[in-house]
Amino acid sequence: MLWIALHCPALSLDWIERRFPAALIPAMAVTARKGNQSYIQQANKPAQERGIAAHQTLASAMALFPGLVVVEQDPNEEMKALQEAVYAALRFTPNIILQDSGLMGEVSASLKLFGGLKKLCQLLNRAVTAQGLQICTGVAPTARGAWLLARSAQPRTVVNGTAARFRLLLDSLPVNLLESAQPHLEVIRGIGCKALADLRRLPRSGLARRFGPDLLAELDCAYGDSPDPRKWFAAPETFQQKFRLLAQVENVELLWVPVQRLIEQMCGWLASRHAAALAFSFVLHHEFSLRQPHKSTPIDIRLSEQSGDSRHLMLLLRERLERAKLAAPVCELELIADEIAAGANANLELFPSAQSETTSLNRFIEKLSARLGPQAITGLKAVPDHRPECSQRFEPLETEAAGRGKTRRTKEKDRISRHEIIPAELPRPAWLIETPLELKLQRHQPVYGSPLKLLAGPERIEAGWWDDALIARDYFIAENALGQLLWIYREYDPIKKDKEGEDKESKDKKDGDKGNKDASWYLQGLFG
């Protein structure tokens, strides 16, 4: 096994500092109470520049800088910040443990996938620091050993070598890193034990008798001499994350960093479930304002191709946010994974395939839709109507992948639209004329450049009685002197047809080019 531990030494300060846009971070400090007195526990860089330092009393700090923002330590908020970092880290390993001031991941199964230990450490560090947390990294064959190395903050914490080298590195660590040694530090130092090696040289029975069995157990787990069972972090079944801002934001540009953090968290959650997003919602929650009666602004995004790529999802959301107008200051962000699907791992290709080219086209359509709006990108869709001018319409373009995210009812409706249209008796032309063109007659024969020769037909279409747009036509395929194939029709009176009976109708169909010679002819389509 191989463990990477990430310790957050400034977690008490990081959780609150990350809730401010970078340009609006004030001088602030975290306080802790000792008896009746409050002391500065940690101060950020702007506060340190004004003379604020750890262990000062709150009164002294406020005297130095009255504008100091003071926040009490909040373990609940610290744990929430760590959980958000865990979401981002789930992209690299599903085996993650949450600690009080950091997290650990078992990464032996992820080394090959991410290009080795060094590359994996860089990716994991980058993912967690992008969540606004400062970290120290430790790598070791044991979970507790990696955690001790991370807390030591030594420059060399990555172990590449034998078990003997690992033990030598642990031996040099100070005793105060052991949690079970905290109540006994003065006694342990009094007997001359400064490093872990000093403790290990003492008789085990005497060590357990004086300091309890927990100290020995922690040492054994750190060195790998005894098992150290852990409980993995369990990601929830659904993803719905909120991010509260501590400054009112009126400029979209100041939202990019927290938005990116939420996207990274969602992608980590998707990776832990071996899934990809089909649709997600982003909600801007506003402070109450007379200018903005609605308390939130939702942005719904449906993907044309399922994706768990944080860069692609961020690009789509960024395009939509740039077109959004903030009618009131934003105080909270919310991201919801509405629809997900099982996602297959992408395979690297030597040459472009049809699937990769389709994916590229789908993503290009997504970018255009996000930038211009879904109504600006349209395509033809078949409609279950026998009237040629009503058999298709332009609708917002939807690729095949987007259709996989539809509900069962919508899919059933589309299935009826596609498959329950009765096939035409004759071929249909590639181009339809928007307004049918009335043709001249020459010796009772339609003319388009030259007299037309009827090649096939008639195909009778009678429809539209349900919406007061009744048509009753006999369609023919015709050819002119240039060899062009045309789709023409002539109208008939359906009421007259009913009166004359079926025999007359059969005769007209059989001798369609001779019956009703004075009827008007129209050109409606051209064959390619």
What's the rounded mean pLDDT across residues 85-93? Answer: 95
Tokens of 345: 């791992």
pLDDT score, position 496: 65
Band of pLDDT at residue 326, cut at 50, 70 and 90? confident
The type of residue at 172 is: S
Q: pTM of the predicted model, to two decimals?
A: 0.71
CA 306, CA 325: separation in Å to the nearest integer? 28
Instruction: Specify the pairing of strand 453-463 against strand 445-447.
Output: unpaired
What's the rounded mean pLDDT across residues 319-329? Answer: 83
- pLDDT of 504 over the 60 cut: no
223 in Cβ contact with 167 (< 8 Å): yes
Q: Which residues neighbour 127 within 8 Å (Cβ) at sequence distance 6 or greater? A: 85, 88, 89, 91, 92, 264, 268
pLDDT score, position 414: 45
What's the rounded mean pLDDT across residues 190-206? Answer: 90
Domain 240-348 has CATH 3.40.50.720: no
Q: Distance of CA 262 to CAs 100, 131, 373, Å?
A: 22, 9, 23
- pLDDT of 232 over the 90 cut: yes
Q: Where are the alpha helices (DSSP H) in 238-353?
A: 256-272, 310-323
- pLDDT of 402 over the 60 cut: no
Q: Alpha-carbon dihedral of residues 7, 13, 18, 22, nearest 10 degrees? A: -120
CA 344, CA 445: separation in Å to the nearest integer? 62
pLDDT score, position 512: 47
pLDDT score, position 80: 94
CA 130, CA 240: separation in Å to the nearest integer? 19
Q: What's the mean per-residue pLDDT of the chain?
A: 82
pLDDT score, position 324: 80
Residue-range domain boundaries for the chain: 240-348, 431-526
pLDDT score, position 162: 66
pLDDT score, position 417: 41
pLDDT score, position 282: 94
Tokens of 326: 């903030």
What's the rounded mean pLDDT across residues 78-82? Answer: 94
Residue closest to 270 by CA, chosen among 351, 337, 220? 337
3-state secondary structure of 213: helix
> Which segments within 421-519 are labelled E, that is strand?
431-442, 445-447, 453-463, 471-479, 485-491
Bridge partner residues of 34 (DSSP): 37
CA 331 to chain centre: 22
The type of residue at 20 is: F
What's the rounded mean pLDDT across residues 234-260? Answer: 90
Bridge partner residues of 335 (DSSP): 241, 282
DSSP classification of residue 289: B
Quick one: what percent of the chain has pLDDT higher than 70? 80
pLDDT in tens, 332-372: 999 999 998 886 555 545 555 555 555 566 666 676 666 66
For the chain, the C-alpha Rg in angstroms (whole number) is: 36
CA 444, CA 446: separation in Å to the nearest integer? 7
DSSP classification of residue 423: P
- pLDDT of 500 over the 70 cut: no
513 in Cβ contact with 521 (< 8 Å): no
3-state secondary structure of 203: coil
pLDDT in tens, 108-130: 999 999 999 999 999 999 999 99
CA 319, CA 314: separation in Å to the nearest integer? 9
Phi, psi angles (nearest 5°) of residue 327: -80, -15
pLDDT in tens, 466-480: 887 888 899 999 999
The tokens 């395979």 sit on which residue? 347
